[in-house]
Structure 1
């Protein structure tokens, strides 16, 4: 261990203690001498309430803090009021500027409207002037056109009068020619009608004769193939409808009016079916066949039956 390291601190501690003891001794001696010369005095004792003092001190501090807070609030309020006034001032200034701008725009709009109004008035005046000139020009043109139309109408009237006269002459000539042609046509028509009537009469007579001949042929064919039943009696009559083809074949046959005896009726139908085909009808005129023989109604009333 190094003793030199403790030497200086130990020496310093001894010196310090000596100084302190000297001071205490000197103080004690001086106090004892003072007691010899002191005279007694009246001492006034007072009890101090530390808690009340602390509370009073706290109240004072609180009051001071409140005073400072009120001062700050007042300062803040004044600052806000000043700021508000400044804002109101700025807002008033802005409103004034806006009003000035609006007034300026309104003035510009009025000036523009006035300029437009003046330009429109000028334009209307120019248009009225042009319209008056146009109407004057149109009136002149109309007058010239009316004069030209009147002259044209007069010329047209003369032309129409002449054309009417020519048309009347032509119409009269055409009417005369037409009357002559109509008279000739009537004569030709009367002659043609007479010839046609005569031809029709001859054709009708020929058709009548041909029809009668073919009817006799059909009746004879049916009669030759008819097997009368035992119940057949004189006076019985049956009406048949025959549907024939152009080849003479029987397409259909049925009773239109019965004789009252079904056997008699069926025997007549069987007679037609036995014939089957009337071959002579192929030589007939198709028009005559279509008119009289395509659908044929025959009445059978044999006279050779028993009474």
Structure 2
């Protein structure tokens, strides 16, 4: 089991490999978390928008691993764009999850989903208010770390201008054939940790013959290669699955991709059609729902 950690800007250690839970139903989430914890996973990522916070927390509370050894993450829904709405949603998440604190909570998107890629409004002022609610919860000890998701450079710059607590994390879509290197570099320069969701490209990487050939070279599966790629970029990787066998395979990523092959993977032609894998995907340097 891959068990390396990365240190957030405030000194909190986060496991570099986590379990994503998008599209895992609430009634199946608890067992998925328990299975993952038994394998060795200690990082679990959910969101208000996923509708499975209750199930994920049940798994966290019943998996037999002490709470302090787990890293539990949720996200303020993209539609909450006021201080009051964000504060209420944070309190509701803690109540629904029956947890005294979360290890990380992030703003899910700078724009409400209905406006993604359809509006030039980046909600700068509104996101500052949501951030203020996260700061207050952080300073009250309800959240151990706070961050953002799907934020671009301008979105982060706007937050940083007025933030008491600088954003610690940006969770973004990043995988072989779609790696936003400029954004990754910018976030690193600001001391932020990057998290990569959908490291297997919503499953599309499995169909890519170039990626398949590279995986064969290392005698690993395509998902293993994709996860290792994000890890070697210095990112937290969040593959999502409810299948225990897939969890085990995804966690067997102790091999090393050579520098030459990493450069080749960075330069790989971009996947442009994700099909039905993600109805909410919006690319061209913009956003994705997960």
Q: Report the TM-score when normalising by structure 2.
A: 0.16
Higher relative contact order (CA 8 A, sep 6+): 2
- From the CA coordinates, give the structure whose radius of gyration is larger: 1
Whichever structure has more helix as a proportion of its residues is 1
